[in-house]
Amino acid sequence: MDLGHLYTPRISACRHFVKDRLERAGRRWTIVGAQAMLDIRSTFLNGDWDEFTQYRIRRQTEKLYPHRTIIGKVEWPIAA
């Protein structure tokens, strides 16, 4: 049974997914950098970009402002 026709669209999609970003002129990639680029590209192509950016903003906010909830609980009297 020849199933070659089932693999052709997948191979084409993979080539597009990888080559479109990684094999442009003058680009050199480490394995870690290439994997990071492919992760971000797949997030975008899968339609999860907005959810990812909101997650990233939440994580960076937690990292940069760890005491942000304490400031919100303190009463700040207004000086007259």
Q: Please tell me the total count of domains within the chain.
A: 1
Residue 20 domain flag: yes
- The domain containing residue 31 runs over which residues? 4-73
Q: What angle do CA 53, 71, 80 make, to 5 degrees?
A: 130
Residue 47 domain flag: yes
Residue 79 domain flag: no
Token pair 């760890």 is found at: 66
Residue 26 domain flag: yes
Name the residue among 24, 18, 51 with its Cα closest to residue 37: 18
Name the residue among 33, 62, 7 with its Cα closest to residue 41: 33
Residue 57 domain flag: yes
Q: pTM to 2 decimals?
A: 0.58
Work out the number of other CB atoms within 10 angstroms of the CB of residue 41.
15
Give tens-digit pLDDT for 11-20.
Answer: 666 777 777 7
Residue 41 domain flag: yes
Give tens-digit pLDDT for 18-43.
Answer: 777 788 778 888 999 989 988 998 89
